[in-house]
Amino acid sequence: MGAVHTPPQPYLVPSQMEQLILKYEEMSSRHIVERVSIFHLEFEAIHPFIDGNGRTGRLLLNLELMKEGFPPINIKFGDRKRYYECFTSYHTSGCDPSQMVFLVEQYVEEELSRYVEIVRNANEISENIIDEEEDEHEV
């Protein structure tokens, strides 16, 4: 996030976290990808811990996705520049979360596609086993 955003003073963290949780609850009518993206951007801006804020924020993002039936995502090391640019964009564009929403959306779609492919492959294996068993019974 660099010089674009300075986390709040430690004494402000508890009230800012409470406000963030209330805001998250108020966004319940929005799509989960948008909600978790905004939550993640704002959680990281509060920076409530001395260390591990990024990992904790991504774990919370994934927990919320899974609670809504979506697969967890793994933001790739190779995408870290793009990931950090989402924070810069958010803090310099009047809190427009669209870049993070798009990033999370792409990762969710990628994971869903991967899951669908796994199910397809499993179905093909099952069908082949059934066909082989039927062939054995015909002999």
What percentage of the chain exceeds 90 in pLDDT?
Answer: 83
Please give the pLDDT value at position 111.
Answer: 97
pLDDT at 2 over 60: no
Domain range annotation of the chain: 2-138
Query: Is 5 annotated in the active site?
Result: no
Domain 2-138 is found in CATH 3.40.50.620? no
**pLDDT tier at 83, thresholds 50, 70, 90:** very high
**113, two tokens:** 């596609």
Q: Which of 31, 47, 91, 137 is catalytic?
A: 47
Please give the pLDDT value at position 1.
Answer: 42
Which residue reads 């976290």 in tokens?
17
**2, two tokens:** 């660099």
Distance CA 1, CA 4 (A): 6
Averaged over 74-103, what is the pLDDT?
96
Averaged over 3-27, what is the pLDDT?
91
Averaged over 87-111, what is the pLDDT?
97
pLDDT at 93 over 60: yes
Which residue reads 């979506």 in tokens?
70
Averaged over 33-51, what is the pLDDT?
97
pTM, to two decimals: 0.85
